[in-house]
Amino acid sequence: MTALSRRLVLGGAAAAAAIGGLPLAGGTAQAGPRALREGLDYAVRKLRAVAPGISRFPEETKFEKWIYTDSGGWVGGFWPGLLWLAHLETKDPLFRRLAEESAERLAPRRTDLGTHDLGFLFYPSWVTAYRVTGEREWRDGAIQASDSLIRRYNTKGRFIRAWGNINDPGNAGRVIIDTMMNLDLLFFASKETGDAKYSTIAVEHARTTAKYFLRPDGSTPHVYDFDPATGTPIGPNTVQGYSPTSCWSRGQAWGMYGFTTVYRRTGQREFLDVATKLADHVLPYLRIDPVPIWDYRSPYAPHDIRDSSAGAITACALLDLAKITGNNRYRETAVSVLNAITDTCLTTKSSRAEAIVGRGTRHRGAEGGIEVSLPYGDYYYVEALLRLFRPAELAAAIGL
């Protein structure tokens, strides 16, 4: 296959339309409320079929079959989280039992001082478990994980370091946009304990991120580096995006969702302003092709591979922003993203596939995980659909 024809095949609905082979961008002609309902039903059917056979944490697929991590890596919260979402939708005790068993396997990570990903790990799994079951062990474990997370706070630079053990000087000054998603664990801990130390750090980190990551046009880099000893800013960088000046679509989505959440928890307008700037930046891209390209500034844009997980996260964030602001443009765009994922990315036609959503990109720059399924793609796709179809139950479970 030539580079050009491969790019057309991988390049999403817009590129496909250009050669007349597949539905037009957005797939809105085929998808709609009924299609989204069918997407949710399909997700539940797929989980019912595969979940009883899974006892580790899905990380990504290789030729449509899950490959696993035993420790949970950074993704271990999404599998129990997805099972909790399936339980909300069906009330089936099978999903509750599997969700509890899976969440329980994360217990050793509560004291992990090697990563910022404790929110990703413990929010969809243990915080949701507490909200659904009322069992105190989940709450207590989530607070323990918060105690681990705040040890990563750099008081000079007012940020939570992303990577590396807290005693490791390597990466000590590295901040990433993804961390915005780990802050809600800290708001949960403050609410439960009455101790503001957690939420204070969350707010400080969000302010630092807003100050250094937000570009005037509303785009963001993946990484910003600081001198860890003095807190002096060094400059933007990237690991998963195309370049320090590009805009990695999943990172932009993490930022959108994260800043909206910080506004929800604090009521402070500065955070809503950031969230809307990030969202307004991506709306024009999504109008052209609602399944985001992996990096909005890829030099091959718009004919480059997609990241359906970025689309699913973006849809969740836009639905939340629509609810908060009453701006219907956000809701319409979210629905068109979900329609496009449903129409062009689901695994419905495969007899091999173990996941729900295909066409995700884990790490394009490292040539790792391209055109795969990702547990966060599945999780946020189902979360977004529950925002539409079961808003009250979802709000109670994830704290909306």
Distance (Å, whole) CA 340 – CA 157: 41
130 half-sphere exposure, CB direction, 13 A CA radius: 18
Nearest distance, CB of residue 388 and ligand GLY, angstroms: 24
Q: In whole angstroms, what separates CA 156 from the centre of its chain?
A: 28
**By C-beta, is 74 or 212 nearer to ligand GLY?**
74
Q: Which is nearer to ligand GLY, 138 or 163 (CB)?
A: 163
- Cβ at position 61, least distance to ligand GLY in Å: 15
Measured from the CB atom, the residue of 26 and 292 that comes closer to ligand GLY is 292
How far is the C-alpha of 55 from the C-alpha of 38, rounded, in Å?
Answer: 27
Q: How far apart are CB 248 and ligand GLY at their closest, in Å?
A: 9
End-to-end Cα spacing for the chain? 47
Closest CB 360 distance from ligand GLY, rounded Å:
10
| Distance (Å, whole) CA 353 – CA 191 | 41
Tally: H helices and E strands in the chain: 16, 9
Q: From the candidates 41, 112, 168, 178, give the one annotated as an active-site residue.
A: 178
96 touches 393 (CB < 8 A): no
The answer to whether 117 is a known catalytic residue is yes
Closer to ligand GLY by Cβ: residue 139 or 364 = 364
- Angle at Cα 119 formed by Cα 113 and Cα 280, nearest 5°? 130
In angstroms, what is the minimal distance from the CB of 359 to ligand GLY?
15
Q: Strand runs (DSSP E) across the chain, as ranges?
A: 57-62, 65-69, 153-154, 159-160, 174-176, 223-226, 233-237, 360-363, 368-372
User: Is the CB of 139 or the CB of 222 nearer to ligand GLY?
Assistant: 222
Contact of 95 with 87, CB cutoff 8 Å? yes
CA proximity to 234, closest of 274, 175, 179, 180: 175
Residue 252 CB, nearest approach to ligand GLY (Å):
11
Residues near ligand GLY (CB under 6 A), total: 4
Residues contacting residue 97 through CB under 8 Å, at least 6 positions apart? none
- Interface map 60-79 toward ligand GLY (x if CB under 6 A): --------------x-----
| Least distance in angstroms from the C-beta of 307 to ligand GLY | 9
- Reply yes or no: is the peptide bond before residue 302 cis, omega within 30 of 0: yes
250 binding ligand GLY? (CB under 6 A): yes
How far is residue 77's CA from residue 124's CA, in Å, rounded to a whole number?
Answer: 6
Active-site option among 41, 92, 112, 117 = 117
Residue placing its CB nearer to ligand GLY in the complex, 222 or 277:
222
**Cβ closest to ligand GLY, residue 139 vs residue 161:** 161
Closest CA to 39 of 311, 223, 275, 268: 311
Among 178, 184, 304, 378, binds ligand GLY (CB under 6 A): 178
Task: Report which residue's Cβ sits closest to ligand GLY.
Answer: 178
State both tokens at 30. Answer: 């085929």
Residue 178: active-site member: yes
Q: Looking only at Cα atoms, what is the longest distance across the chain?
A: 60
Question: What amino acid positions are annotated as catalytic residues?
Answer: 117, 178
- Residues engaged in binding ligand GLY (CB under 6 A): 74, 178, 240, 250
